[in-house]
Amino acid sequence: MQTPWEYRYAHRTSRMGSSVIRELLKLTEQPDIISFGGGLPAPEVFPVEKIKEACNTVLEQQGALALQYSTTEGYLPLREMIARHNARFSVEIAPENILITSGSQQALDFIGRLFINRGDHVVVESPTYLGALQAWNAYGAEYVSVPCDEHGMIVNKLEEALRVGPKFIYILPNFQNPSGATLSLERRKKLVELADKYGVPIVEDDPYGQLRYEGEHIPSVVQLDSRFRGPNGGTYSGNVIYLSTFSKLLAPGIRLAWVVAPQQVIRKLVMAKQAADLHTATFNQIVAYEVAKGGFLDEHVKVIRATYKERRDVMLETMAEVFPSEARWTHPKGGMFLWGILPVGMDAAEVLKVAIEKKVAFVPGFAFHANGGGENTMRLNFSYARPEVIQEGVTRLGLTLKEMLSKNGK
Amino acid sequence: MQTPWEYRYAHRTSRMGSSVIRELLKLTEQPDIISFGGGLPAPEVFPVEKIKEACNTVLEQQGALALQYSTTEGYLPLREMIARHNARFSVEIAPENILITSGSQQALDFIGRLFINRGDHVVVESPTYLGALQAWNAYGAEYVSVPCDEHGMIVNKLEEALRVGPKFIYILPNFQNPSGATLSLERRKKLVELADKYGVPIVEDDPYGQLRYEGEHIPSVVQLDSRFRGPNGGTYSGNVIYLSTFSKLLAPGIRLAWVVAPQQVIRKLVMAKQAADLHTATFNQIVAYEVAKGGFLDEHVKVIRATYKERRDVMLETMAEVFPSEARWTHPKGGMFLWGILPVGMDAAEVLKVAIEKKVAFVPGFAFHANGGGENTMRLNFSYARPEVIQEGVTRLGLTLKEMLSKNGK
């Protein structure tokens, strides 16, 4: 007889679903659609030649090492390099504070595995990163949403949320996915203090920190927490778990990211990773180290910044020209996304349906809200499409919005 | 104040521990110790040059694709190739029956995530693969152990275990890790029938199936299940979830494996993977495809077989010469491990302590028993060390055993 698989699945699978975005994006896979829906880096900035050289060097000089099983913690020279990099931002971190993961999504999964009992609360921004919700839903997380404005999480509202007794606070302070907002320095300091006051850890997700196109770099939350706690003898033992990634600095197709956390948390994460996939691909780690070790990424990030700044500017300029006056949008100082806000009552999911007919797509903002809301918002990606394509796509979108508004108005 | 992290961890972490083996192996990391403890492939057989060529070709011809995000299911040409490969063994499989994972350990983790509620029972062999226990402990699995002999799981004992109402049966039928035993054809057929009779799925873990050094290939359980169910129109919809890996055919450092399962199970596994790490490294998948597509692995497997066969033979011959007559051991027909059985009452963990003083190491067999037992057993790996090193190590081990036996005898 046929196996009735659906009755075999564990309870946690009831909250595992394919992401709304993925389903929507399937509609946009026709080649003539201009999609601002994804979150892909521009393939034009991948340092293909540099990676090729590194592959050759690594395989010629240490092929046996690079192709063998390796430690769960990650390739030591790579972790040492990341620790040195953090030292530039005056965060004292030892290699023992670092775990290499197969992309930041894996770090989010492990954090869920480590901390979330079914029904535990997590404080998130509203809107927040969808991948984090997906990772933690499987562990039975509930969410307390804190509203945001153009300077990120409204920290005055955070204290209320902290009194719920959450397991941790999740925050994406730089050029947030999806909103593009950046948490101000004042608010970061207040965040560190409030988290300390209530004894609630912070998970800081920082994939885009180095992709700033204007204004001054703001210290990361882990850096402010480190400063708040004073000298620590070269290892980090504070209240923040910090995530970053090579996906946006080098390439996402090699799946390479890292976690910075107190040593005791890293030790637990290592156990999680051991059971989950043994270790991140040895070859990819050594190749990334080979590419980055001479300071190459510093130079390369300048190329990425110039490319994405141009694309962001083209998107903003075109929006100013063609979007209806009723729409507003954010002006992100970096990253890969901006956030459109339509008049209240206008449903971005309905807009998407009409937009797809006009061969342009985006992600409706409701998908990024853990507890509902945001029906009149939309996320637009500006890193992937070339400038002339952005111009054309935004023009189509502007027309769509104007037509729908004038119809609704009648 | 310091964050008291230990009070923040979720309940499931109480059963997450570093593996006993890892802790033991730390003792053996001194460079002058000959260790049969690990489970590493011989680096001498890594096709370094071939992988280098493939990296160059892939980056030159499709760098933008190989370095970009990709689908969770895995690179389609790679899945098609695996489906064709299975067709050679007369299992009808469509690419939709296949998910690419970051090593088989990840597949084990996802299977736990998908099926195991806290307290659910899993039928395992005794002894069984330790990595599976590690993966499923975090989900709260309990185990029903079925005893094994030199022909694998004693299937007559399986029926009792099935009446417990387990979620699935886990079996490693070829050259099992740790015991080296191979499940006979008769028992495989009986296993398929019993699983069908009780409606309990089978998870077949087959990392070593192609590494046979003597005797005839025995059809896999998924193949027998497929035959049992009759023609299926080109897709697999039976009762088995089958795992295999490129770790032993190509190299473990690229972390590449696959799952074969009914489409509805694959769809659920895809959701699990999406939340866990988005997808397996695009670059690694395309490189492996490039290496394997011309039938290279068929040739390469012959090299691996010849290398490991020699090492196995040297280990067996040396054991016959130097081991005390009280000890017995298996004669594996393939794979990477053999299993030593000491006189009852002799504790292999105690033997290990003395062995380490004599600069030789192995893994005590108790670690592989889900419900205790096996204190007088030991796992020896023969794939990693060179023949002359195997000879020296086994000689040291034989001396250790003889000394301990003669002491105990007095």
Among A246, A266, A295, give the residue marking a domain's end.
A295
Residues B205 and B171: beta-carbon distance below 8 Å? yes
Strand B257-260 and strand B98-101: pairing? antiparallel
- Pick among B110, B197, B277 to test the A interface (most A CBs inside 10 A): B277
A18 shares a domain with A87: no
Q: How far apart are CA B211 and CA B213, in angstroms?
A: 7
Measure CB to CB from residue B3 to each of A66, A109, A199 and give the nearest one: A199
A338 shares a domain with A249: no
Bridge partners of residue B240, in order along the sequence: B202
B210 shares a domain with B75: yes
Residues B89 and A275: beta-carbon distance below 8 Å? no
By the CB < 8 Å criterion, does A383 face chain B? no
What are φ and ψ of residue A156, in 5° steps? Answer: -60, -30
By the CB < 8 Å criterion, does A16 face chain B? yes
B197 shares a domain with B249: yes
Q: How many domains does chain A have?
A: 2
Q: What's the confidence (pLDDT) of residue B122? A: 98
Cβ neighbourhood burial of B98 (10 Å; 0-12, 13-18, 19+): buried
Among A295, A311, A331, give the residue marking a domain's end.
A295
Q: Which residue of B has its CA nearest to A103?
A: B277
What are φ and ψ of residue A142, in 5° steps? Answer: -110, 160
B125 shares a domain with B94: yes
How high does pLDDT run on average in chain A? 94
Q: What's the confidence (pLDDT) of residue B147? A: 96
Dump pLDDT digits (tens) for A187-196: 999 999 999 9
Around A5, how many Cα atoms within 13 Å sit in the side-chain half-sphere? 18
Among B237, B272, B296, give the residue marking a domain's end.
B296
Q: What's the confidence (pLDDT) of residue B15? A: 84
| CATH (domain of B349) | 3.90.1150.10
Contact B68 A109 (CB under 8 A): no
Give the CA dihedral A264, A267, A268, A271, nearest 10 degrees: -170
Interface of B with A in 111-130 (CB under 8 A): 113-117, 120
Measure CB to CB from residue A114 to each of B9, B22, B281 and give the nearest one: B9
Q: How far is B355 from chain A (nearest CA, A)?
A: 24
Q: Which two tokens stand for residue A236?
A: 């980090």
Residues of chain A with pLDDT under 70: 18-25, 27-28, 409-410
Dump pLDDT digits (tens) for A321-354: 999 999 999 999 999 999 999 999 999 999 999 9
How high does pLDDT run on average in chain B? 94
Dump pLDDT digits (tens) for B52-67: 999 999 999 999 999 9
Q: Which two tokens stand for residue A103?
A: 């992309």
Contact partners, residue B246, CB within 8 Å, separation at least 6: B254, B256, B257, B288, B292
By the CB < 8 Å criterion, does A165 face chain B? no
Measure CB to CB from residue A67 to each of B168, B251, B281 and give the nearest one: B251
Residues B353 and B366: beta-carbon distance below 8 Å? no
What residues make up the domain containing A195?
49-295
Q: What's the confidence (pLDDT) of residue A22? A: 67
Is pLDDT of B24 > 70? no
Residues A136 and A114: beta-carbon distance below 8 Å? no
Q: How far apart are CA B118 and CA A341, in angstroms?
A: 44
Q: How far apart are CA B394 and CA A124, in angstroms?
A: 57
Contacts of B133 in chain A (CB under 8 A): none
Contacts of B59 in chain A (CB under 8 A): 48, 51-52, 55
Around A393, how many Cα atoms within 13 Å sit in the side-chain half-sphere? 26
Q: What's the confidence (pLDDT) of residue A21? A: 66
Q: What's the confidence (pLDDT) of residue B410? A: 52
B278 shares a domain with B322: no
Is pLDDT of B231 > 90? no
Q: What's the confidence (pLDDT) of residue A25? A: 65
- Pick among B53, B57, B60, B69 to test the A interface (most A CBs inside 10 A): B69
By the CB < 8 Å criterion, does A55 face chain B? yes
B305 shares a domain with B319: yes
A168 shares a domain with A102: yes
Interface of A with B in 58-77 (CB under 8 A): 59-60, 63-70
Is pLDDT of B332 > 90? yes
A57 shares a domain with A29: no
| pTM of the predicted structure, to 2 decimals | 0.96
For residues B374-390, give the mean pLDDT: 97
Q: How far apart are CA A51 and CA A254, in angstroms?
A: 10
| CATH (domain of B275) | 3.40.640.10
Q: How far is B227 from chain A (nearest CA, A)?
A: 14
Q: Which residue of B has its CA nearest to A1?
A: B196
| Residue in the structure block whose two tokens are 């039975």 | A140
Is pLDDT of B293 > 60? yes
A180 shares a domain with A235: yes
What are φ and ψ of residue A28, in 5° steps? Answer: -100, 10
Looking at A123-220, list the stretches that DSSP marks H as alpha helix, in order from N- to C-terminal side: 130-137, 155-162, 185-198
Contacts of A170 in chain B (CB under 8 A): none
Q: What's the confidence (pLDDT) of residue A5? A: 92
Dump pLDDT digits (tens) for B91-140: 889 999 999 999 999 999 999 999 999 999 999 999 999 999 999 999 99
For residues B209-229, give the mean pLDDT: 95
A273 shares a domain with A215: yes
- Pick among B2, B73, B255 to test the A interface (most A CBs inside 10 A): B255
Measure CB to CB from residue A64 to each of B46, B262, B276 and give the nearest one: B46
A13 shares a domain with A91: no
Contacts of A135 in chain B (CB under 8 A): 275-276
Interface of A with B in 315-354 (CB under 8 A): none
Least confident of A24-28, A349-353, B230-234, B292-296: A24-28
By the CB < 8 Å criterion, does B253 face chain A? yes
Q: How many Å separate Cα B139 from the centre of its chain?
A: 20
